[in-house]
Structure 1
Amino acid sequence: MNVRSLNTRLASMNPIAIILYGLIIWFVIAFLIYPNLNIYGEIFFKDGKFTLEAAEKLLSSERAMKSLYNSFILAFSLVVTVNIVGITLVLISEYFDIKGAKILKLGYSTTLIYSGVVLVSGYKFVYGEEGFMTKLLVRIFPSFDTTWFHGYWAVLFVMTFACTSNHFLFLSNAIRKIDFQTVEAARNMGASAWYILRRVVLPVLKPTIYALTILTFLTGLAATSAPLILGGKEFQTITPMILTFSKSMTSRDLAALLALILGLATLVLLTVMIRFERKGNFMSVSKVKSELVKQKIRHKVGNVAAHILAYGLFVLYIVPVVLIILFSFTDSASITTATLNPNSFTLDNYIQVFSSMSAFKPYLVSIVYAAAASVIVVALTLAVSRLLHKYNNKWTLALEYSLLIPWILPSTLIAIGLIVTFNTPKLVIGNSVLVGTVWMLLIAYVIVHIPFTLRMVKASFFSLDGNLEDAARNLGAKPFYTFRKVLLPIILPSTLAVLALNFNGILADYDVTVFLYHPLYQPLGIVIKNSTDAQAAADTKALTLVYSVILMIMSTITLYFVYGRNSRT
């Protein structure tokens, strides 16, 4: 597009649209491009001169190098454990004929309604030093070590179960699409159940398993909540170390370098995943597919073992949720001693949350942040999607790629980039300082959720019938009126679903929040994490349990309205 045609288009556009698109371009430059370029300057340039001082400090820091080592160990370990458990869950719930499969699926899907810091705090509440299961084991075995749930193995255990939610969502969907005719043909040729599973079923699932493996590795590499709450000093990983270094001006460049290493690892792994997807071709060749029929395990011992395994995993998944709900209705003494007594059940915790402003404040802060960020990011991506839908040129392509930057960078790097960039006045934001303000966290929430929202909203736009807009134009409708009255009502249901998912995800966020929150306005994620500390008051722990239950209820409602109403399984 040349300058003359660009000027012609600008002249034909509504002034409000020009201002809106100008704000979008400013936002992209100010918060997506500039901070992520500026971070390189903070690391490699001091007083205008190139330096490797940060790299030298990193190599000489035993704690920093140990955290890098621990992060990669955790990531590789999770690839093995999460795939084993995740594939097992999907086979139990979707492939094999297991009694009570519907109930089992409900238990396995509990990680969809509570995750992150809420999930980790729940597991610590059950298995930690003061946890219910630990106290129970001490009563049975008086010499039992109460500090057993700590360090690498505790982090690996919790994250293994936390990360299977992706398998449960995506691998379950993939296995349902397997052509049953190929399975039946293999059986008719005399193939055993194990051979069919290994040579017929799993190869078809390889693309999904590869993608989930990369996502699991990245999750382990950037883990925050589990290592911070359960890892202790002996198992510190990259993100908690970045958080520690970012609090000091003298070590902020070290935090930035660690975040950059995390970002480079993310880019490399995403590149590998794309190459696997392009090279792999594991699709079924059958033209007429038949629905997969659950397979009976004919070996008696194998069938019993499968059922024991299925219900054993069910117990592991469901126990933290059940205990969080039960203890949220008990008094502080019962929570402190981890004992359930019928006489201790009360509604006082819930009454306090909704009647005391100090108790409700963290919830209110999170609701305001989540609502504001969700609305802003949806409005932003609606405008961008409209632009991408209407114009197809190098400028809109550059805009789209710029908005996808947060997808290829870990949230830690984005947070550090904002901290090191906006801790001093910058012309691009009117010589203001954002660090230490309530706006910084809101901006970060919007940035992190742009890529997912843009992909979903853009897909809705490009599924519209082009004749609708042509008809409206022929009737004399202006572009904005057409968008507001014709296009928006059609894409509104899917847009509201994305808004609900974003709202749900932000409510208990910890990974971004911990770097950027205002001390006077602590969101739920920070309060829930603080309640896991040994010195936390019993009343605080009681309120945290109530917060967790409310979050699980809201997550369940959100998932039902987004996914459940269209499900027939």
Structure 2
Amino acid sequence: MRCEGQPGSVLRHCGLFVLLLFLFGYILFPALKTLETSLTANGAFSFIHYKEFFTNETSRLPLLNSVTLGLLSVIACGSMGTSLAFAINFYEFPGRSVADKLLLLPLVMPGIIIVFAFVQLYGESGMVTKLLQLLLGMESPPFTLSGLTGILVIHAYTQYIYFYITVSIAIKQMDYSAIESASNLGASQTRVFFSIILPFLKPAIIAAAAMTFISGAGSFTAPSIIGGNFKVLTTQILLSKANNYMGIAATQVSILTSISILFFIVFRIYEAKSQFTSSVKGVLFRPVAIRNSLYRILIRSIVWIIIGSILLPMMTIVLVSFVPSSSWMVDYFPRVFTLDNYSAIFTSARKLQPFFNSSVMAIVAAGVGLIVAIPSSFVIVKTKLKAKWVVEFLTMLPWAIPPSAIAINIINAFNEPTIFSLNEVLVGTSILLPLGYLIRSLPIMVKTLNVSFQNLNEVYVEASKSLGGSNFDTFKNVAVPILFPGIWAGFLLIFIRSIGEYTVSVFLYNATNKPLSIAMVNGVFEYNLGLAMAYGTLLIVLTFLLSLIMSRFLGMSS
């Protein structure tokens, strides 16, 4: 692509070239380098790593476990998320709006915090586990939060949100007149559900299933902490990387990525074939009033019980943050409360450093993300360039790549000098971790900004210019007010997703930029649970406040 022609055309073409160069250099190129590494042995092209992988049962089992975990996560999260979406959005009852906002909380809660909270509640020595053991007079715990079952419980808690959001949106956009017409013609509620409602929702359910499978199969946090003997491919990738078997790690990453992309494509094809169009004039869906008092009480009770179970882990983290770490060595339940854990953080530069590191890296990731996402969204939404599909493909590609794979891709790409690293070796430096945060979060930032650009109606721009407004005045008075809420919402969303991120962090951090999530894990394994939970509480408070601000901006941009 050559930057020549009229000044405006030169600027556009050069800008597009730089954007494509960035997307290729930091998203596609790292993935290709990992593929190359997996196909190289002793400096020559070879399938030896793949042969060893598929002929070794010890290697194949984690792959089977990962696929199984992904599929079971779809079933568990689909059942929970879809049911809650129906209960909240299909029916009308008091407190529905509040319940809807509370059910979105797991979206902004870092996964590492949730895992630790579940362990503290439902682990072998967890408070709920021990309470039931004492009440029932049992000699051993009634259950343990470990293995496949424990991971699925945490996935159901953290990933139901994919189904809840997509199905909720689909229900709100449902054609109510089609439902009324079918009911007026004598169709039973069962017939209406399977012939009208389910076809409307099927594309949303399939889209959520694709995201949940990729997230489930590529899960690292829960399997690494409570997986026990249930080994998955992501934990094996870290083990290979830790032992410097980068050829094996690259092979594992390539296989996991290929499976994720394959399932993503299959789900998207099926989603496209499942589009449902009503032949009846569309009427905005209205929540249905529940006339049966017993059924109304049952629905409300189930919803609020689930909300309570969602809030309980977060409240546990806050509670434990005020308990001296030493007390857990002799007590199952907190007896003494103190501010010492917070005092230790704010009076020690070493203990405060991880919070500072994570904040700075999250700001960098979000800031650079905006620089990349704004022109990407503009090209995707507002232009008819032939290259727009390339921009959309590259910005959405990280959505189909598990976080552990993104981290290994970055390591393979920048463990030697390249044009994209300015001929420097970046492995071992502090720049890789915020880069990992950026790549992982870029798709959701672009999706957020796409909404803002779709709201930027060309009629407003032309009207401003016809009234004598300059390009600068039009940009300042028309474009900025429309785009600004989406830009800030995107920035805050990436900051929230990055500040407590664990999977990418465990692969890419070094001693100089240890993030908050790693400090929390270290605190737990060093028997300093109170300090770890104090970190977690600070993170919860920060993400909650920022999510409130983000919600306001998202509301302004929609």
Q: 1:385 to 1:475 in 2, by over 3 A?
A: farther
Cα shift at 1:393? 3.7
| Greater alpha carbon shift after TM alignment, 104-113 vs 303-312 | 303-312
Corresponding residue SS for 1:64? helix
Q: Which residue in the other structure is 1:235 paired with?
A: 230
Cα shift at 1:204? 1.8
- Report the count of equivalent residues: 555
Cα shift at 1:541? 3.2
Does residue 1:202 correspond to 2:198, yes or no? yes
CA distance in 2, matches of 1:212, 1:465: 30
Q: 1:124 to 1:504 in 2, by over 3 A?
A: same
Question: What amino acid is the match of 2:215?
Answer: T
| 8 A Cα contact 2:322 2:530, kept in partner | no
Cα shift at 1:508? 0.6
Q: Which residue in the other structure is 2:207 paired with?
A: 211
Q: 1:358 to 1:146 in 2, by over 3 A?
A: farther
Question: What amino acid is the match of 1:296?
Answer: I
Question: What amino acid is the match of 2:269?
Answer: R
Q: 1:335 to 1:552 in 2, by over 3 A?
A: farther
Q: Which residue in the other structure is 1:330 paired with?
A: 323
Q: 1:40 to 1:552 in 2, by over 3 A?
A: closer
Q: Which residue in the other structure is 1:53 paired with?
A: 48
| Greater alpha carbon shift after TM alignment, 185-194 vs 316-325 | 185-194
Corresponding residue SS for 1:292? coil
Q: Which residue in the other structure is 2:145 paired with?
A: 149
CA distance in 1, matches of 2:477, 2:98: 44
Q: Deviations over 1:192-211 (max 9, x none)?
A: 54444444322321111111
TM-score by length of 2: 0.88
Q: 1:70 to 1:228 in 2, by over 3 A?
A: same
CA distance in 2, matches of 1:11, 1:561: 36
TM-score by length of 1: 0.86
Residues 501-516 of structure 1: matches in 2 within 5 Å?
A: 501-516=493-508
Corresponding residue SS for 1:286? coil
| 8 A Cα contact 2:176 2:283, kept in partner | yes
Cα shift at 1:459? 4.8
Q: Which residue in the other structure is 1:372 paired with?
A: 364
Q: Which runs of 5+ in 1 are unaligned?
A: none
Cα shift at 1:156? 0.8
Q: Which residue in the other structure is 1:81 paired with?
A: 76
Corresponding residue SS for 1:121? helix
Does residue 1:528 correspond to 2:520, yes or no? yes
Cα shift at 1:254? 1.4
Q: Which residue in the other structure is 1:549 paired with?
A: 540
Residues 283-362 of structure 1: matches in 2 within 5 Å?
A: 283-296=277-290, 298=292, 300=294, 306=299, 309-333=302-326, 337-341=331-335, 344-362=336-354
Q: Deviations over 1:29-86 (max 9, x none)?
A: 4323332222222111235532111012212444321111111111111121111111
| 8 A Cα contact 1:214 1:269, kept in partner | yes
Cα shift at 1:434? 0.7
CA distance in 2, matches of 1:330, 1:399: 50
User: Structure 1 vs Structure 2: percent identity of aligned residues?
Assistant: 25
Cα shift at 1:292? 2.1
Q: Which runs of 5+ in 2 are unaligned?
A: none
Corresponding residue SS for 1:178? coil
Cα shift at 1:450? 2.7
| 8 A Cα contact 1:359 1:543, kept in partner | no
Q: 1:327 to 1:410 in 2, by over 3 A?
A: closer
| 8 A Cα contact 2:4 2:10, kept in partner | no
CA distance in 2, matches of 1:386, 1:306: 43
Q: 1:200 to 1:334 in 2, by over 3 A?
A: farther
Cα shift at 1:97? 5.1
Cα shift at 1:532? 4.2
Question: What amino acid is the match of 1:406?
Answer: P
Corresponding residue SS for 1:284? coil
Q: 1:296 to 1:197 in 2, by over 3 A?
A: farther
Does residue 1:173 correspond to 2:164, yes or no? no
Does residue 1:279 correspond to 2:273, yes or no? yes
CA distance in 1, matches of 2:121, 2:439: 35
| 8 A Cα contact 2:34 2:250, kept in partner | yes
Q: Which residue in the other structure is 1:7 paired with?
A: 4
Cα shift at 1:488? 3.9
| 8 A Cα contact 1:115 1:162, kept in partner | no
Question: What amino acid is the match of 2:286?
Answer: L
Select 2:63's aligned residue among 61, 65, 68: 68
Select 1:33's aligned residue among 19, 24, 28: 28
Cα shift at 1:228? 1.0
Cα shift at 1:133? 0.8
